[in-house]
């Protein structure tokens, strides 16, 4: 087991589902597989969208134009397949609408795309990805670009929103925005230092408790079919691997969850073409 566990947003649901999977995933011990070819393809598309958005904000700022003017002229990467190119074009149109409406200027210097924050105990670090960061009306705004809405009824309950706020927030307010690039919509949650402290105080002891278990409990369920620590699992015989996960459970479109053991630094979900402008649619 590694000395410092790395906890990402997609790991948090396993705290309540299967502690064995949670501990093995965050410590990197006993993993048997990485992302599938399909996962790598959707990561490539997600990364292309995020890279284009970052470049558009920087260019729009320097030229004094709206981000949509840059995004509308952005061609999809040549290595994307035909369907992926269509989704890329839709995403450019959808994010252009959101970017123009919300405004803001890129954070300078640009933030680390993979920030992490080590807990006070030194036992684990929280790790997230930043797609786009801007300053809007004097408040730092971190945007997550996704191919669908957040699966959580309240964005403040979204693990990615909470971890991003914990990792990136200091003493100043921080705004987290989940952008559905295919529907040109944005969900917003504002956080302050006190709220982030409360989240950290709730989460830290739960993570430490799981890491301290000599033999973390293995709980069978439909999530077993995507488990990267399935080898040698004492519960695997009792699990129903044929039972499908819901979109939210498996990290489906727009959830921001990473399948397997890898996480794209962008809107890492498998999209379906939707409608938008034009054709588109710590404690512990």
pLDDT tens for the 284 residues of the chain, in order: 447 999 999 899 899 999 999 999 999 887 776 555 556 777 899 999 999 999 999 999 999 999 999 999 999 999 999 999 999 999 999 999 999 999 999 997 778 888 999 998 899 999 999 999 999 999 999 999 999 998 887 888 898 899 999 999 888 899 999 999 999 999 999 999 999 999 999 999 999 999 999 999 999 998 888 888 888 888 876 444 434 444 444 333 333 333 333 343 344 433 333 333 332 224 55
Residue 147 lies in a domain: yes
pLDDT for 53 = 97
**Structural domain contains residue 109:** yes
- Rounded Cα distance between 277 and 22, Å, is 40
Instruction: Output the pLDDT for position 113.
Output: 83
Instruction: Output the domain CATH number for residue 29.
Output: 3.90.320
* Residue 234 falls inside a structural domain: no
- Give the pLDDT confidence score for residue 235 in this predicted structure: 85
State the total domains in the chain: 1
At residue 180, φ and ψ (nearest 5 deg) are -85, 100
Domain of 69, in residue numbers: 5-212
Q: What is the pLDDT of residue 188?
A: 95
Residue 185 included in any domain: yes
Residue 93 lies in a domain: yes
Task: Check residue 264 and give its pLDDT.
Answer: 39
Decide if 269 is inside a domain: no
Residue 225's pLDDT is what?
81
Contacts of 200 (CB under 8 A, 6+ apart): 166, 282, 283, 284
| 171 within domain boundaries | yes
pLDDT of residue 98: 98
161 found inside a domain? yes
Its pTM stands at 0.78
The pLDDT assigned to 37 comes to 57
- Give the pLDDT score at 210: 95
């Amino acid at each position: 087991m590694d000395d410092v566990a790395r906890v990402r947003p997609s790991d948090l649901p396993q705290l309540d589902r299967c502690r064995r999977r949670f501990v093995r995933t965050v410590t990197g011990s006993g993993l048997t597989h990485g992302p599938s070819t399909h996962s790598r393809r959707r990561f490539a598309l997600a990364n292309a969208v995020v890279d284009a958005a970052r470049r558009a904000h920087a260019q729009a700022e320097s030229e004094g134009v709206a981000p949509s003017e840059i995004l509308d002229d952005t061609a999809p990467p040549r290595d994307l397949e035909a369907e992926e190119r269509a989704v890329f074009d839709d995403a450019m149109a959808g994010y252009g609408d959101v970017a123009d409406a919300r405004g803001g200027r890129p954070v300078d210097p640009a933030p680390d795309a993979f920030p992490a924050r080590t807990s006070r105990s030194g036992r684990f670090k929280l790790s997230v990805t930043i797609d786009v960061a801007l300053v809007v009306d004097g408040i730092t705004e971190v945007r997550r670009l996704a191919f669908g809405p957040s699966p959580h009824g309240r964005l403040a309950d979204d693990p990615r929103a909470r971890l991003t706020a914990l990792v990136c927030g200091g003493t100043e307010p921080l705004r987290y925005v989940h952008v559905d690039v295919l529907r040109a919509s944005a969900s917003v949650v504002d956080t302050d230092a006190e709220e982030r402290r409360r989240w950290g105080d709730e989460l830290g002891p739960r993570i430490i408790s799981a890491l301290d278990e000599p033999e973390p409990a293995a709980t069978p369920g439909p999530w077993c079919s995507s488990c990267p620590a399935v080898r040698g699992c004492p519960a695997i015989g009792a699990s129903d691997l044929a039972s499908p996960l819901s979109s939210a459970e498996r990290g489906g479109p727009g959830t921001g969850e990473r399948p397997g053991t890898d996480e794209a630094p962008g809107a890492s979900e498998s999209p379906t073409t939707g409608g938008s402008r034009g054709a588109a649619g710590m404690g512990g």
